[in-house]
Amino acid sequence: MNEASQIYERLWQEAARALANGRPSIDPCLPDKTSDPRRGLSLLLRPEPAVQRSIHAFLGELAAVAPGQYFYRPEEFHVTVLSIVPGTELWRDKIRSVTAYQSIVRNVLKAYREFSIGFRGITASANAVMVQGFPANNTLAQLRNHLREELRKNHVDGELGRKYKIQTAHMTVMRFCRPDTDWNRLKVFLEASRTTPFGETRVRSVQLVLGDWYASANSMRLLAEYQLRT
């Protein structure tokens, strides 16, 4: 079992216990996100349309099992490459120079080629359901480490250490926002979906975005899109 699989399995075991006990973590800011002032600066990659369709179909089944929870829309599906400034109410103070971030990201990304991610199975946490992503090579890990190094070198990395270090290529597709759910039924459904295939994406570009905690389409501002080398 590789490192990503180990992380996904550990997350699932913790989530399964929370669901079995009927004690998942409910997000108080959902479904009304207008009360949440947090914003952040992130690098994202998007799955190809075929993968979006597969996940969207799966979410239709999931919504029948757990109606009323918060489900991401296809245009919101994403893998976080790097959370440069994690969501915060003080985002205006934290994001002082978007131009500086853009320059650093552009210079780093021009050294990297396109790569593929296979999306297979789901995992979960105490507050969300995620689609598991498995990069075909080390490009994503190398890119992340290179970005962290350059941001530190240029003294604009103040927020990188305040959130867990992203190690996987998962996509969050559902969040828990209502307590009135048959949690054991949801656990059984998710367990049966642990190996569901969703397809593969060829990552050809990466987006720098300013958005809310949930990467909502209606609050997302695309600042730049960078093409990877073919």
Chain Cα centroid distance, residue 132: 10
Radius of gyration of the chain (CA): 18
Is residue 152 within 8 Å of 108, Cβ to Cβ?
no
Is residue 86 within 8 Å of 40, Cβ to Cβ?
yes
Reported as a single tens digit per residue, the pLDDT across 90-133 is: 556 666 677 888 999 999 999 999 999 999 999 999 999 999 99
How many C-beta atoms surround the C-beta of residue 115 within 10 A? 19
Q: Architecture of domain 3-227 in CATH? A: Alpha-Beta Complex (3.90)
Q: What is the mean pLDDT of residues 163-191?
A: 91
Provide the mean pLDDT of the chain.
Answer: 91
The side-by-side arrangement of strands in the sheet containing 197-203 is 70-71, 171-175, 128-135, 115-124, 197-203
The residue ranking higher by pLDDT, 84 or 81, is 81
What pLDDT is recorded for position 159?
Answer: 55
Rounded to whole angstroms, the Cα distance separating 222 from 210 reads: 7
- Helix (H) or strand (E) holding 215, with range, is none
What pLDDT is recorded for position 161?
Answer: 46
**Percentage of the residues of the chain whose pLDDT score is greater than 70:** 91
User: Domain residue spans in the chain?
Assistant: 3-227
Rounded to whole angstroms, the Cα distance separating 220 from 50 reads: 22
Rounded to whole angstroms, the Cα distance separating 118 from 124 reads: 18
Cis ω on the peptide bond leading into residue 179 (within 30° of 0)?
A: no
What pLDDT is recorded for position 134?
Answer: 98
What pLDDT is recorded for position 152?
Answer: 87
Q: What is the DSSP letter of 229?
A: B
Is residue 37 within 8 Å of 219, Cβ to Cβ?
no
Q: What is the mean pLDDT of residues 69-97?
A: 82
Reported as a single tens digit per residue, the pLDDT across 49-70 is: 999 999 999 999 999 999 999 9
**Side-chain-facing half-sphere of 89: CA atoms under 13 Å:** 4
Q: What is the DSSP letter of 25?
A: P
pLDDT higher than threshold 70 for residue 157: no
Reported as a single tens digit per residue, the pLDDT across 10-41 is: 999 999 999 999 999 999 888 787 777 788 88
Q: Where is average pLDDT lowest: 5-9, 87-91, 139-143, 159-163?
A: 159-163
- The letter for the amino acid at 165 is K
Q: What is the mean pLDDT of residues 198-221?
A: 93
Rounded to whole angstroms, the Cα distance separating 192 from 208 reads: 35
